[in-house]
Amino acid sequence: MSTIQLETFCFIIALAARYKLQVHGMDIIAAYLNSKLDEEVYIKQPPWFNNGTGRVCKLILFIYGLKQTGRNWNIELDTAFKSLGFIQLIADQCVYVCCDPASGSPTIVAVHVDDMTLYA
C-alpha cells in the first residue's frame, strides 16, 4: 500500500459531492521517522559525521531511504486505523472507511504514502 488508485480517488470525490462530505487534506510530518524499529539496522557513518574510526552506526529509529521504513509505517498506520474501527477496502487497500452508528454518516480516509485525504 502506498498510493490510492486514480479510479478510487475519482469515485470518492463523487461520493463526497453527492453526500456533501467535507474534504480535508493532511500531511503526517516525519511519519517514517516515527515508525518503531523492530530489528537491528546498521549504517556507515555519514560523511559529515565520519570520525575516521570506520565504525558503523546502529539505528534506534528509522530514517528515510531504508527499504523497511515504508513497510513499517504502513503496518503502524493500518493497525491504528483498525483499532479505531475503520475497515480497509479490498478493492483499494489505501482506503479506510468507518461509519458512525449514531448518525450513520461515513468517514473515508484515502492514504497516499504519508499524506491523507479525509472525507467526513
Mean pLDDT of 12-16: 93
**Cβ partners under 8 Å of residue 60, min gap 6:** 37
Report residue 27's pLDDT band, with 50, 70 and 90 as the boundaries.
very high
Cell triple for 33: 521517522
Average pLDDT value for residue range 29-33: 79
User: pTM for the complete prediction?
Assistant: 0.79
> What are the pLDDT digits (tens) for 71-92?
888 888 999 999 999 999 999 9
Q: Is the pLDDT of residue 2 over 70?
A: no
The mean pLDDT value for 52-67 works out to: 83
Spatial distance between the Cα atoms of 107 and 18, rounded to a whole number of angstroms: 14
Q: How far apart are CA 106 and CA 104, in angstroms?
A: 6
Show the cell assigned to 24.
480535508
Contact between 117 and 23 (Cβ < 8 Å): yes
Choose between 63 and 58: higher pLDDT. 58
Q: Quick check: 14 pLDDT over 80?
A: yes
Q: Which of 119, 76, 116 is nearest to 97 (CA)?
A: 119
The 10 Å Cβ neighbour count of residue 69 is 19
